[in-house]
Amino acid sequence: GKDATFKVKIRGLKERLLPELDDEFAKDVSDFESLAELKADIREKLEEESTRRTKKELENKILEQIIANSEEIVLPNTLVEEQAEYLLNNFNVSLMYQGLNLEKYAELAGTDEETIKEDMRAQAAEQIKKDLILSEIIKVEGITATEEEVNNKLEEMVKDSYDPENARHQWESRKRDLEISIKMEKCADFLIEHAEVTEVIAEEESSEEDSE
């Protein structure tokens, strides 16, 4: 209950300074010469990602409708298990980067590992069915990928890589994968172009309308 006196010596004060968002900043963090160019590039990439995501969602809905209206597709269990294992491995890698494992994730999500694996099997089966449908459409419609398109795709993958030299080496040996990817993209465009898409706009009823 006695009074006490403390002596405090301040050695210095530091202020955290954020970099100025100017042309010099753009040069430091990118290959662009001006901030305007950097902003334009970021805006373009965001728009491209939004378009890609919307297109993928539409493609999935069309494929889901085709599957729903088709005869039941019976898949070999081994094929489903292989794809499920592939998806699970990718999921485990993503968890690892977050400092988690499957057991910890299941605990945080309020589920269990077996339920997660069952979900992966369901996703695997759905993806295989979609790939089979796309492959059949590619075959029937004669969808192809030219050598020029494959090379352009390769350059695109290399350009977006952190290690261009290594990426080029990797993709040079995987040109077949690039060819399949291009065919799948063309097939998705074909589906969207020929599908009857109805835009539904949700209308909210106001409380005033309800009272009437």
By percentage, how much of the chain surpasses pLDDT 70? 84
Which two tokens mark 198? 């109805």
What residues have CB less than 8 Å from 37, skipping those under 6 apart? Answer: 26
What residues have CB less than 8 Å from 67, skipping those under 6 apart? Answer: 73, 126, 129, 130, 133
Which two tokens mark 104? 């910890």
What digits encode the pLDDT tens for the residues 145-191?
A: 999 999 999 988 888 777 888 888 888 888 999 999 999 999 989 98
Please give the Cα distance from 51 to 98 (Å, whole number). Answer: 28
The beta strands (E) that lie in 41-87 are given as none
By percentage, how much of the chain surpasses pLDDT 90? 41
10 Å CB burial of residue 178 (0-12, 13-18, 19+) is buried
Count of H-run helices and E-run strands, the chain: 9, 0
CB 113 within 8 A of CB 106: yes
| pLDDT of 202 higher than 70 | no
What digits encode the pLDDT tens for the residues 69-118?
A: 888 888 999 999 999 999 999 999 999 998 889 999 999 999 999 999 99
- Full-model pTM: 0.66
Domain boundaries, the chain: 22-70, 71-125, 143-194
10 Å CB burial of residue 45 (0-12, 13-18, 19+) is exposed
The conformation of residue 142, written as its DSSP 8-state character, comes to T
Q: Residue 198 has what pLDDT?
A: 65
Please give the Cα distance from 90 to 26 (Å, whole number). Answer: 34
At residue 2 the predicted structure's pLDDT band, cuts being 50, 70 and 90, is low
CB 120 within 8 A of CB 87: yes
